[in-house]
Structure 1
Amino acid sequence: MTRVKVCGITRREDREAVVAAGADAIGVINGVSVDTPREVDDETAAALVAGVPPLVTSVLVTMPEAVQSVARRVETVQPDVVQVHDGLTPTQLGALRRRVDAQLVAVVDAEHAEIEAYADAADALLVDSVDAEGGGGTGETHDWDRTREIVDTLDAPVVLAGGLTPKNVGDAVGTVRPFGVDVASGVEAEGGVKDHDAVRAFVQQAKRADAAAVEAGR
């Protein structure tokens, strides 16, 4: 079943709305080098993660400069999963994976030259539309057919991100058949504030498309 992650949670009420909508994972952004309204400070990140209920996965989204810095951040925030954008090589990601008590998701562009090495170094791969600074959340889609090739080629679970909305997530799930989908700006009322109706619609459309693909044997 395709998992749904809603990222860039900044408020308790948005976290609770995402849980109520049936999302499988909640992403909290902390410690990134890009300017985004979705980033929260250490204290807020830890509080948001602490309130994620059992059976829903908490994800710390960060852009570390070194293994030590992200390890300290994981210790502070205590997420189930750490999602790493930019900054670390596959070798460093492997070292981080051994060091932290959290699963590791590596973020790459669909055309990254070392995509297999990143997949081997992490527990899962998130394929995003990455900007020049290495950050996601661009609101831009990429070549879903290329991502489907990655899904078919790699053993690691692949999460699809980049420009997803309630209107296109069904097509994305049907085309790519990813392990999961990830949305941030596509379900917002404004930067860093979620539109709860859009969150519900996104989850419903993703799950509906997944069920249809399973029934069709895709």
Structure 2
Amino acid sequence: MRTRVKICCIASPEEAALAEAHGADALGLVGAMPSGPGVVDDATIARIAAEVPPPVATFLLTSECSADSIARHVAGTGTTAVQIVSHIPPDESARLAALLPVTRRVQVIHVEDEAALDLIEAYAPHVHAFLLDSGRPSLAVPELGGTGRVHDWAVSADFVRRSPRPVFLAGGLTPDNVGQAIRMVRPYGLDLCSALRPEGRLDAGRLEAFMAAVRAADAARSV
């Protein structure tokens, strides 16, 4: 099984092209957030999304919390997928499925403890995939991604085993630890941002090293 890779915090068509050239399966485009890196305006997101060729997917990261506002955000940017970074009410997730039946819908689960496992049943009927991250949505200024922190991979591995939907893993991934992450968690895909942007820009060398580490880990799994 090949582990998919989503490169997040894409800020320009040039960064999108760089990620595509290194084999990225999906690109993350970050809309307005209460905190965290990589935010770009909706016009830039729409411009990048329009230029990305299939089969590369474009993910809009939205902090909107209602089905109507999320659907409007997607309509205004033209991405092929939407990544919902807040733990929205499950009934809103169900409404969003009716509003956006074609758009791929990915629910972020912030893994603070084993309570994350309780959210599988609530969201799985309404989404196409999950993404496990290390945010803290309950803070006064919510952290909804881009923390660069590793969470408890034992919980994430249990989540993957229980989930009926594909699961992406995010949070503190680097070329040095991604092999362990793949072996331990066995996610469908990986997602990262800050480790590839040492000076606020996508770094080709770090991107190449990460993709090589993923390929090596996948090769080791197939032996």
Q: Please tell me the root mean square deviation across aligned C-alpha atoms, in Å.
A: 1.4
Contact 1:120 1:156 survives alignment (8 Å): no
Structure 1 equivalent of residue 144 of structure 2: 135
Write the distance in 1 (CA, Å) between the matches of 2:150 and 2:20: 25
Is the aligned partner of 1:163 residue 2:175?
no
Structure 1 equivalent of residue 103 of structure 2: 102
3-state SS in 2 of match to 1:189: coil
How big is the shift at 1:179? Answer: 0.4
User: Could you list the runs of 5+ residues in structure 2 that have no partner in the other structure?
Assistant: none
3-state SS in 2 of match to 1:23: coil
How big is the shift at 1:141? Answer: 0.2
Contact 1:4 1:181 survives alignment (8 Å): yes
How big is the shift at 1:65? Answer: 3.0
Write the distance in 2 (CA, Å) between the matches of 1:206 and 1:118: 28
**1:99-152: CA deviations, max 9, x gaps?**
113110000123324233123321101011012314011000011122111111
Rate the CA distance shift 1:30–1:5 in 2: closer, same or farther, 3 A: same
Contact 2:110 2:135 survives alignment (8 Å): yes
Structure 2 equivalent of residue 15 of structure 1: 16
Structure 2 equivalent of residue 62 of structure 1: 62
3-state SS in 1 of match to 2:45: helix
**1:45-85: CA deviations, max 9, x gaps?**
00111111111111111110321111111111111110001
Write the distance in 2 (CA, Å) between the matches of 1:167 and 1:51: 32
3-state SS in 2 of match to 1:120: helix
Write the distance in 2 (CA, Å) between the matches of 1:55 and 1:114: 30
Moved more, 160-169 or 199-208: 199-208
How big is the shift at 1:211? Answer: 2.3
Is the aligned partner of 1:146 residue 2:147?
no
**1:24-46: CA deviations, max 9, x gaps?**
100000132x1334111111000
Write the distance in 2 (CA, Å) between the matches of 1:153 and 1:37: 31
User: Could you list the runs of 5+ residues in structure 1 that have no partner in the other structure?
Assistant: none
Rate the CA distance shift 1:208–1:142 in 2: closer, same or farther, 3 A: same
Identity score, percent: 38
* Consecutive aligned runs of 4 or more in structure 1 exceeding 3 Å deviation: none
Is the aligned partner of 1:119 residue 2:124?
yes
3-state SS in 2 of match to 1:190: coil
Structure 2 equivalent of residue 199 of structure 1: 207
Q: How does 1:171-182 map to 2 (within 5 A)?
A: 171-182=180-191
Moved more, 157-166 or 107-116: 107-116
Q: Which of 193, 205, 221 is matched with 1:213 structurally?
A: 221
3-state SS in 2 of match to 1:105: strand
TM-score (norm 1): 0.92
Number of aligned residues = 213
How big is the shift at 1:10? Answer: 0.6
TM-score (norm 2): 0.90
Contact 2:4 2:188 survives alignment (8 Å): yes
Write the distance in 2 (CA, Å) between the matches of 1:164 and 1:53: 26
Letter in 2 for 1:209: A
